[in-house]
Structure 1
Amino acid sequence: MSKNLATLIGFSAILQWSSIIGLLKKISFSIGPDLAVLFMYTLSAIILLLLFKIPNLKLVPRQFLIYATILFVIYELCFSYAIALAQTAQQAIEISLVNYLWPSLTIAALILFKELKFNFFVIIGLAISLGGIILIQTGNGSFNWSTVFTNIQSNPLSYFLAFMGASLWSLYCVITRKYSHGHNPISFFFVVITIVLWLKMLIFHGIPQMPAVDLHTGMYMLIVSIVTALGYAAWNVGIIKGNITILVTLSYFSPIFSSVISMFILQTPLSLSFWHGAILVTLGSLVCWISTSWPQIKAKLIQLRHE
């Protein structure tokens, strides 16, 4: 496999993951948030088990396995329910951008854990990203704090879950970097979250009755499970055999990719202020990344120039 092809496959993972918000919200409109999340992870776990099986967990560092599993499961629950519980299609897209604060928060967490040196531009990047979220909440009107708080208070649980998820994912990234030693038991993580969701369903709701699922809902359910699972497989190919610098750079544009794809799936027009906010979230993440990775980026650019 050529490096360019592997990079293209890795980029497909970014697009696949960017479609999850719109697809999951589409399903939750039809069968409710609980069943939508349950079936998405159940089918994704089955696909991942067929692709990767469960690795030999004895080879995975025990502390990493315990803490990473807990963080991954809670993050996925926060992320999926934040989207599924959104009241409208537009709110689901807006809430998804809160989740995309995780790149900036990851840089901040790496600094707190002394994995990276402090850089003042990280504070600027975080401020830019948060400014983008605030701008989105103002709508098309002039800036007003009461408008921002009113929008958040319309569905505080979803906004809280999205922000909590972004924070937990940043910790997961730090722990994975420090303690994974190259192990990636993603299929095991999905099995655990599927078990947790089924236990939650049985304890609080009893045995779920299969809802009447029309062809379109069934198709969306299958697609969201496939893109969730295959996204991990494609990403692994990209970062192992492709150009990781290009992939990392492209991944920081996920808020824009996700918003565009979700807009078409949910058939929801988005305001100009929303796009300004999405660009700010992306720009803030890029500022954080570039400010802490400039020596490596500069060296890579020099290398590419000489190739």
Structure 2
Amino acid sequence: MPAARRRLETVVPDDKAALSWWFREIRYPRQLPRDYTRSPDETIARCRQPEYREAAPARGRRHGELRRPDGPRRQFLEYSAEFDLKRIVLECGGKNPALVLPDAPDLDAVAQPIVDGAFRSMAGTARRRRVIRNRIGMLKQAASMKRKNKATLIGLGAVLLWASVVALVRGVSESLGATGGAAMIYTVASVLLLFSIGFPDLSRFPKNYLLWGGLLFVSYELCLSLSIGYASNGRQAIEVAMVNYLWPSLTLIAAIAFNQQRANLLVVPGVLLSMLGICRVLGGDQGLDPAGMLRNVADNPLSYGLAFVGALIWAGYCTVTARIADGKNGVTPFFMLVAAVLWIKFAIEGGGGMTFSLHAVGYLVLAASALGFGYAAWNTGIMHGNVTVIVGASYFTPVLAAAVAATLLHAPLSAEFWQGASMVCGGSILCWLATRSRRDKARPVRIVNEADGSCHG
């Protein structure tokens, strides 16, 4: 039995304050059972014919009574969960005492005047009620801000995890092969997602989302992983990743064309700046050199082609899921499907040599964790954190990814490359700013739904 349950305090009704201003008061015509030290859920279940009286003036409702309600336990617990309460107050009518279960340390100071009977007069009680209400409001606001800041940090962690994906996937493919390495990564990542997010009830998912969303998601992940794996060297893998980061600008173009997304004129320089940044990256040490860019692409057209097609596919995924996902997130089954397709491809190709070593296993675990936990952290941040901060930070992923990859892959990058990567980031940010003000004011819920569709930065 927890220590908090052993320190139950009781006071007579005349001495209690209005902590129930945040709770649903429960008045019992009969005395509480002797074993009331059980869990609150069991205590409520054992009390006969409770009468509920709502005490929530802040919600603009009138006081009323519900005699013999159909679901008393569910109503009480849902009301407590709605405010994220950890302290439960059971108030008993007549001469029965008010039972306080002190399970929330942050509210102990607020509840102390109740349990020690520090005030007794009606005037003092009224004043104390106002103090307690304000105090609880401040505590709840502080707790809410703390949870939001924590979720925001988790969301920013997703950005850092995804920034390491390029280097880690490349490191795995050098030891296990492009296809075999990717198959191993998504297999391990699927297991991690099963434990962190779980497997959803697919019967509740829209069929169109499962079909088209799954097809586009699998296609994109195949293009991304194989484009990095097929790269000739570390520097080319980084350049391929920069091509893939065209997807934010392409997503905005698709949203304007197909989802009636409103945007201002910043979208034009944003898209142009992203395109010029990619051209500068592909131009090598010469910068904006069309001939050098074509020679660079011709050296490995498969990798660059997969990266560009992947950017188009992910833009289509974000556009489609924003309309048909209905707030669902199928990242776990989609990852499992990606792993299955990669293993089928691996078998069709006749397998291949996979050299397992401590270095390869380490990169494999890190790559799978970055992908799997990255999606889990992103969803947590988007659902409960500061969306503006997280999404804004995600547009710096190209520069972060290049920095991490250059360090881990020992691939020196020229000043022209960094200028091009910065241009890609700047173009994406301009595209984001082109829609931010209108979208935040007109459709605040839409942002969450789009983000919940696993469209990351």
TM-score when normalising by structure 2? 0.63
Deviations 1:18-57 (A, max 9, x none): 1010011112122221211111111111111222332111
**Partner of residue 54, structure 1:** 199
2:355 to 190, 197, 212: 212
Alignment partner of 1:177 is 2:326 = no
**Partner of residue 240, structure 2:** 95
**Partner of residue 154, structure 1:** 299
2:306 partner amino acid: L
**Partner of residue 197, structure 1:** 342
Partner of 2:277: helix, strand, or coil? helix
**Partner of residue 305, structure 1:** none
Closer, same or farther: CA 181–271 of 1 in aligned 2, 3 Å: same
Partner of 1:12: helix, strand, or coil? helix
**Partner of residue 410, structure 2:** 267
Closer, same or farther: CA 142–168 of 1 in aligned 2, 3 Å: closer
**Partner of residue 250, structure 2:** 105
Identity %: 39
Partner of 1:259: helix, strand, or coil? helix
**Partner of residue 41, structure 1:** 186
Q: Distance in 1 between matches of 2:341 and 2:172?
A: 20
Deviation at 1:134, TM superposition (A): 0.6
Deviation at 1:114, TM superposition (A): 3.3
1:221 partner amino acid: L
Deviations 1:157-183 (A, max 9, x none): 111100100110011111121111110
2:384 to 238, 241, 245: 241
Partner of 2:285: helix, strand, or coil? coil
1:255 to 383, 389, 398: 398
Deviates more, 1:284-293 or 1:98-107: 284-293
Alignment partner of 1:81 is 2:222 = no
Q: Distance in 2 between matches of 1:295 and 1:285?
A: 17
2:289 partner amino acid: N
1:225 to 346, 368, 379: 368
Alignment partner of 1:22 is 2:167 = yes
Deviation at 1:298, TM superposition (A): 8.6
**Partner of residue 420, structure 2:** 277
Q: Distance in 1 between matches of 2:183 and 2:282?
A: 30
Partner of 1:267: helix, strand, or coil? coil
1:158 partner amino acid: S
1:55 partner amino acid: P
Ranges in structure 2 where 5+ consecutive residues have no aligned partner: 1-145, 443-457
Closer, same or farther: CA 297–280 of 1 in aligned 2, 3 Å: farther
Deviation at 1:115, TM superposition (A): 2.9
Deviation at 1:142, TM superposition (A): 5.7
1:256 partner amino acid: V
Between structure 1 and structure 2, the one with the greater Rg is 2
Deviation at 1:297, TM superposition (A): 6.1
Q: Distance in 2 between matches of 1:155 and 1:95?
A: 10
Deviation at 1:125, TM superposition (A): 1.2
Q: Distance in 2 between matches of 1:258 and 1:58?
A: 37
Deviates more, 1:69-78 or 1:134-143: 134-143
Partner of 2:401: helix, strand, or coil? helix
**Partner of residue 294, structure 1:** 437
Deviation at 1:118, TM superposition (A): 5.2
Q: Distance in 2 between matches of 1:18 and 1:67?
A: 27
Deviates more, 1:111-120 or 1:285-294: 111-120
Q: Distance in 1 between matches of 2:285 and 2:370?
A: 33
**Deviant stretches of 4+, over 4 Å:** 296-299
Deviation at 1:139, TM superposition (A): 2.1
Residue pair 2:280, 2:289 contacting (<8 A) in 1 also: no
Partner of 2:430: helix, strand, or coil? helix
2:331 to 151, 168, 186: 186
**Partner of residue 266, structure 2:** 121
Deviation at 1:205, TM superposition (A): 1.2
Residue pair 2:166, 2:238 contacting (<8 A) in 1 also: yes
Alignment partner of 1:166 is 2:311 = yes
Partner of 1:205: helix, strand, or coil? coil
2:427 partner amino acid: G
Higher strand share: 2
Q: Distance in 1 between matches of 2:203 and 2:432?
A: 34
1:98 partner amino acid: V
Ranges in structure 1 where 5+ consecutive residues have no aligned partner: 300-307
Deviation at 1:237, TM superposition (A): 1.0
Deviation at 1:147, TM superposition (A): 0.8
Higher helix share: 1
Q: Distance in 2 between matches of 1:140 and 1:195?
A: 40
